[in-house]
């Protein structure tokens, strides 16, 4: 059986179903991100695992033990809070000792544990400081050290990086990941930031309105989204609505606008649906090239290393194209006539 | 299981206080309400019955009607004086910063931390025929005979305004501090000058504070007991001294109870009126 | 204009502080009745206060009454504050209005109601009755101040404590209580002062055997004039200023926010 198993977990408040039939297995040592927009139920799921919210239905198993009926303080699950929740009236050392004392750890082993976690997060010189005397990043490390000292069966993170500035956030991502790998601890990480999820997690669980939309690695979800919601939430995509029809023996996707796209679809895929094409998979060609879709650039936006163009096709669809900047190649301008083309293999067919 | 326990916990915590309020406030007030409809006869005591003559006696007997009007008038005069004296002080307080504000604040807090009995005692020393005020005025030859400042309404008003003034100042200070300072700058930027700013910006925007301060002071004056008793003795009768007299000397509790509920009714009307006034302003 | 405004405010402040200044000054005067400005300087009225058995008796009664009712009020009020600030319960604002209502009622009305009720159950003129009445009157102050503290308290700290393996008892005594203690203490100090100074309710319920210090002062100044009262008052003014000013500032900032 899996290290952590969530079985059929549901939470209903009055008439609102916040989490519905949540099934997930996590292997030991895995780092899993729970990703989704606000209100998707990711934090509620985390709080059910920590024991602060009782599930309406379903079970939580950790290391072959059903922890569902256990109160929060009996679960040995470490939670890093969004606002860190450091005890303001205690020093860094006392914050870390608090959990060890709760577990009646004796003085000698306790001091050893405190010393080693402080070293682990690089805060040994700050042991006697109070939380308010520390920077955001340092407070974050204390919150982490405090739960690591207890050697938890499972680490839970509730959007722990959302209060940090952009640079520090990237740095902490790497540090959290490094610590998690070194200690081999299993972790569940709640976030609404797709970049955070994609760079940190072994696997991503994407949630939509209390249900799992898709589970997989970053590549799997990005390249093979199963629904329009997933394709739109992870990265950006151009969506064309229409249906797959057979034209002279070939399968062609015909859009409502009349645009025809050569579709990469399984033989069984027929009928109405949506085609998604990632903006970086589209190429510019000359407007009169064969098989190219002619159109005109309406807007050019700087994204740094890449340019993003909004192109209005002759047939009426608006398409977003991203193009890498290259040496000695001039940028395209708004108003320029262009042709667009893409490989059939780069289209994603999403059945309605 | 756990969640149900969580739901019961607040009621467990609130329990003692709810019992306290129920047994010692609501219960006794209900009993008092019942007793206000009883009759009283000297010699035989309280007679268990249902009648409204305690209320009609207070409202229609010329002597008591005089007490009711006298109390209301006293309340109105004290409130008006508190507003007039309190506004400049509150304005200065709300405009000052740092040490000056702390000092002013201290001067206004100190009376609030001193019991009414003690402060009224101070006024007795000042207001007597041989008191500081009369002796000073006589020494200055401003008067030939001592002014009568004790044992009349004048003395009660002088002392009561002082007793209740801090409440008015603090209520006004809150309201004045709530006015966004950039409004003054905007008004000045639009060419308005001192008086106009005061009349069109300061005064209307501090109205909630004026209303709450007035309600606070009026209620305090209406139910004041210590100051009228010590300054005026038996010479000035107000509602609270009537209640006290009935309760302690005459033992006519039904009548005292009726007066108490008439006092509560006056306060209730006042509060509802001021609430509607503030509410209407907010929604308008 | 500005000078006139300052003068007006100076006069108003003088008026506001006059009785306190007078009471303190007359406590040190040598004449047999309080006269302002005082003549000479003496501490004999303070000595007289301390050496008069009935006054010392009153001080003892007042202290015991205030300490007992403050202890009760602090426990009861803290419970309410925690419940109101920390738990989403229905009718919260109605309940908090009800819990704070004893300060809204005129003391004389509450006093008569308690007298009528206590007479029936034999609590009138007893120490127990006084403690009950004082607890009722001063609990709202504790509720108000402790509630402000409890509302500032971040509930995720309690969750963090439980997550770190602390039982609810440990969570309460090591995390919640220390963090809301300033508010509770402020409430307790304020409640103590209010109880010690309470006159009207006590006057109706006390009876001859339980003359608290305010009652004693009240009776003295009605029928006689004696600088000893000034001395007692001075002691109270100084004591309350010492313990009350920091607390009172807190109370006001709570009321203002």
Prediction ipTM score: 0.90
Looking at residue C1, what is its pLDDT? 64
Cβ atoms A299, A291 nearer than 8 A: no
A:28-57 residues touching chain B, CB 8 A cutoff:
54
Cβ atoms B121, C229 nearer than 8 A: yes
Q: Which residue of A has its CA nearest to C158?
A: A85
For residue range A46-97, list pLDDT tens digits in order. Answer: 999 999 999 999 999 999 899 999 999 999 999 999 999 999 999 999 999 9
Chain A residues in contact with B1 (beta carbon < 8 A):
69
Domains and CATH numbers, chain B: 1-35 (no CATH), 49-283 (1.10.3720.10)
CB contact under 8 Å between C200 and B226, yes or no, is yes
CA distance B101 to chain A (A): 29
CA distance B50 to chain C (A): 18
CA distance C81 to chain A (A): 21
Chain A residues in contact with C166 (beta carbon < 8 A):
73, 98-99, 102
C:136-175 residues touching chain A, CB 8 A cutoff:
154, 156-157, 159-167, 170, 174-175
Chain A residues in contact with C175 (beta carbon < 8 A):
87
Q: What is the mean pLDDT of residues B51-69?
A: 92
Looking at residue B1, what is its pLDDT? 35
How far CA A91 is from CA of A126, A146, A294, C200, in Å, comes to: 9, 12, 66, 49
Chain B residues in contact with A69 (beta carbon < 8 A):
1
Chain A residues in contact with C167 (beta carbon < 8 A):
73, 102
Looking at residue C257, what is its pLDDT? 40
- Residues sharing a CB contact under 8 Å with residue A162, sequence separation 6 or more, in sequence order: A82, A191, A192, A193
Looking at residue B219, what is its pLDDT? 94
Average predicted confidence (pLDDT) for chain A: 89
Give the CA-trace dihedral at B127, B128, B133, B135, to 10 degrees. 180
**% of chain C with per-residue pLDDT over 70:** 95
CB contact under 8 Å between A50 and C163, yes or no, is yes
Does the beta carbon of C106 lie under 8 angstroms from any beta carbon of chain B? yes
For residue range C150-176, list pLDDT tens digits in order. Answer: 888 898 999 999 999 999 889 999 999
- CB–CB contacts below 8 A, B to C: 237
Q: Report strand pairing: A31-35 vs A306-313.
A: unpaired
For residue range C33-68, list pLDDT tens digits in order. Answer: 888 888 889 999 999 999 999 999 999 999 999 999
Does the beta carbon of A85 lie under 8 angstroms from any beta carbon of chain C? yes
CB contact under 8 Å between B20 and C110, yes or no, is no
Chain B residues in contact with C225 (beta carbon < 8 A):
124
Does the beta carbon of C40 lie under 8 angstroms from any beta carbon of chain B? no
A66-80, A234-248, C107-121: the lowest-pLDDT one: A234-248
CA distance C147 to chain A (A): 19
Which of C154, C157, C165 is closest, CB to CB, to A73? C165
Looking at residue B183, what is its pLDDT? 86
Looking at residue A256, what is its pLDDT? 79
CB contact under 8 Å between B114 and C222, yes or no, is no
* Nearest CA among A4, C231, C248 for reference residue B109: C248
Q: Identify the residue whose tokens are 């010492």.
A: C242
Residue A324 has pLDDT above 80, yes or no: yes
Q: Which residue of B has its CA nearest to C9?
A: B89
Which of B17, B32, B116 is closest, CB to CB, to C77? B17
Does the beta carbon of A147 lie under 8 angstroms from any beta carbon of chain C? yes
CA distance C213 to chain B (A): 11
Rounded (5°) CA angle A259-A263-A269: 115
Residues paired with residue C213 on neighbouring β-strands, in sequence order: none
Rounded distance between C-alpha atoms, residue C163 and residue B224, angstroms: 54
CB contact under 8 Å between C164 and A77, yes or no, is no
Residue B9 has pLDDT above 80, yes or no: no
Chain C residues in contact with B219 (beta carbon < 8 A):
106
Average predicted confidence (pLDDT) for chain C: 90
Backbone angles phi, psi at A299, to 5 degrees: -155, 140
Rounded distance between C-alpha atoms, residue B214 and residue B191, angstroms: 33
CA distance C159 to chain B (A): 13
The strand ranges marked E within C67-206 are none
Domains and CATH numbers, chain C: 54-223 (1.10.3720.10)
A267: confidence class by pLDDT, cuts 50, 70, 90? low
Looking at residue B7, what is its pLDDT? 59
Rounded distance between C-alpha atoms, residue A228 and residue B44, angstroms: 90
Q: Report strand pairing: B39-41 vs A283-285.
A: unpaired
* Nearest CA among A98, A96, A61 for reference residue A77: A61
Cβ atoms B167, B220 nearer than 8 A: yes
CA distance A40 to chain B (A): 22
A236: confidence class by pLDDT, cuts 50, 70, 90? confident
Residue C142 has pLDDT above 70, yes or no: yes
Cβ atoms B247, C115 nearer than 8 A: yes
**% of chain C with per-residue pLDDT over 90:** 66
């Amino acid at each position: 059986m899996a290290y952590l198993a969530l079985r059929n977990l549901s939470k209903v408040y009055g008439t609102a179903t916040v989490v519905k039939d949540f099934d997930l297995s996590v292997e030991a040592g895995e780092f899993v991100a729970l990703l989704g927009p606000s209100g998707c139920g990711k934090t509620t799921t985390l709080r059910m695992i920590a024991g602060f919210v009782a599930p309406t239905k379903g079970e939580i198993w950790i290391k072959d033990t059903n922890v569902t009926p256990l109160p929060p303080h009996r679960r040995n699950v470490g939670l890093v809070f969004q606002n860190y929740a450091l005890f303001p009236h205690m020093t860094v050392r006392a914050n870390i000792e608090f959990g060890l004392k709760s577990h009646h750890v004796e003085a000698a082993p306790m001091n050893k544990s405190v010393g080693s976690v402080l070293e682990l997060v690089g805060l040994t010189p700050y042991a006697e400081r109070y939380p308010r005397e520390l920077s955001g990043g340092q407070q974050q490390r204390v919150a982490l050290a405090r739960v690591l000292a207890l050697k938890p069966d499972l680490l839970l993170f509730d959007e722990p990086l959302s209060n940090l500035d952009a640079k520090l956030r990237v740095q902490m991502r790497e540090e959290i990941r490094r610590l998690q790998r070194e200690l081999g601890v299993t972790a569940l990480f709640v976030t609404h930031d797709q970049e955070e999820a994609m760079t940190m997690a072994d696997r991503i669980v994407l949630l939509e309105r209390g249900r799992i939309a898709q589970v997989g690695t970053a590549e799997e979800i990005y390249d093979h989204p199963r629904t329009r919601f997933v394709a739109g939430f992870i990265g950006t995509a151009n969506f064309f609505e229409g249906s797959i029809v057979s034209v002279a023996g070939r399968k062609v996707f015909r859009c409502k606008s009349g645009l025809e796209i050569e579709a990469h679809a399984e033989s069984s895929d027929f009928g109405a649906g949506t085609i998604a094409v990632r903006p970086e998979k589209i190429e510019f060609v000359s407007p009169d090239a064969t098989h190219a879709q002619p159109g005109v650039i309406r807007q050019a936006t700087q994204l740094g290393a890449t340019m993003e163009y909004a192109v209005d096709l002759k047939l009426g669809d608006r398409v977003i194209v991203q193009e890498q900047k290259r040496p000695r190649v001039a940028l395209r301008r708004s108003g320029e006539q262009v042709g667009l083309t893409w490989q059939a293999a780069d289209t994603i067919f999403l059945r309605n | 299981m756990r969640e149900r326990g969580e739901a019961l916990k607040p009621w467990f915590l609130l329990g003692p206080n709810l019992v306290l309020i129920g047994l010692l406030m609501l219960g006794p007030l209900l009993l008092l309400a019942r007793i206000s409809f009883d009759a009283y006869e000297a010699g035989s005591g309280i007679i268990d019955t249902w009648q409204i003559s305690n209320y009609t006696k207070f409202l229609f007997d010329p002597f008591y009607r005089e007490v009711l009007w006298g109390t209301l008038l006293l309340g109105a005069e004290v409130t008006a004086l508190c507003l007039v004296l309190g506004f400049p002080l509150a304005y200065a307080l709300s405009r000052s910063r740092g040490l000056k504000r702390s000092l002013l604040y201290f001067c206004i807090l100190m009376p609030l931390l001193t019991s009414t009995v003690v402060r009224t005692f101070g006024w007795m020393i000042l207001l007597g025929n041989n008191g500081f005020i009369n002796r000073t005025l006589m020494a200055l030859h401003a008067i030939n005979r001592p002014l009568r400042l004790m044992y009349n309404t004048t003395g009660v008003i002088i002392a009561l305004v002082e007793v209740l003034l801090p409440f008015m100042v603090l209520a006004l200070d809150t309201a004045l501090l709530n006015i966004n300072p950039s409004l003054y700058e905007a008004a000045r930027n639009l060419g308005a000058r001192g008086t106009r700013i005061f009349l069109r910006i300061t005064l209307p925007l501090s109205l909630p504070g004026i209303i709450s301060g007035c309600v606070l002071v009026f209620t305090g004056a209406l139910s004041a007991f210590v100051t009228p008793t010590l300054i005026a003795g038996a010479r000035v009768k107000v509602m609270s001294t009537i209640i006290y007299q009935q309760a302690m000397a005459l033992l006519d509790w039904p009548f005292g109870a009726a007066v108490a509920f008439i006092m509560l009714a006056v306060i209730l009307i006042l509060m509802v009126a001021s609430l509607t006034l503030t509410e209407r302003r907010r929604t308008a | 204009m500005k000078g006139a405004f300052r003068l007006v405010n100076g006069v108003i402040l003088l008026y506001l502080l006059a009785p306190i200044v007078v009471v303190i000054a007359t406590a040190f005067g040598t004449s047999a009745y309080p006269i302002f400005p005082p003549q000479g300087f003496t501490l004999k009225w303070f000595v007289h206060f301390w050496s008069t058995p009935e006054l010392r008796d009153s001080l003892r009664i007042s202290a015991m009454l205030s300490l007992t009712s403050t202890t009760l009020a602090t426990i009861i009020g803290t419970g309410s504050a925690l419940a109101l600030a920390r738990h989403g319960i229905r009718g919260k604002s109605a309940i908090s209005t009800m819990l704070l209502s004893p300060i809204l009622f005129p003391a004389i009305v509450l006093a008569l109601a308690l007298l009528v009720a206590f007479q029936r159950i034999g609590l009138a003129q007893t120490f127990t009755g006084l403690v009950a009445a004082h607890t009722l009157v001063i609990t709202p102050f504790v509720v108000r101040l402790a509630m402000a503290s409890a509302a500032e308290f971040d509930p995720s700290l309690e969750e963090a404590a439980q997550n770190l393996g602390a039982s609810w008892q440990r969570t309460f005594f090591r995390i919640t209580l220390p963090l809301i203690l300033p508010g509770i203490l402020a409430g307790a100090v304020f409640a103590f002062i209010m109880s010690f100074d309470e006159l009207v309710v006590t006057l109706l319920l006390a009876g001859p055997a339980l003359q608290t210090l305010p009652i004693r002062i009240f009776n003295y100044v009605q029928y006689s004039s004696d600088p000893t009262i000034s001395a007692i008052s001075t002691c109270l003014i100084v004591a309350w200023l010492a313990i009350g000013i920091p607390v009172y500032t807190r109370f006001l900032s709570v009321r203002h926010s």
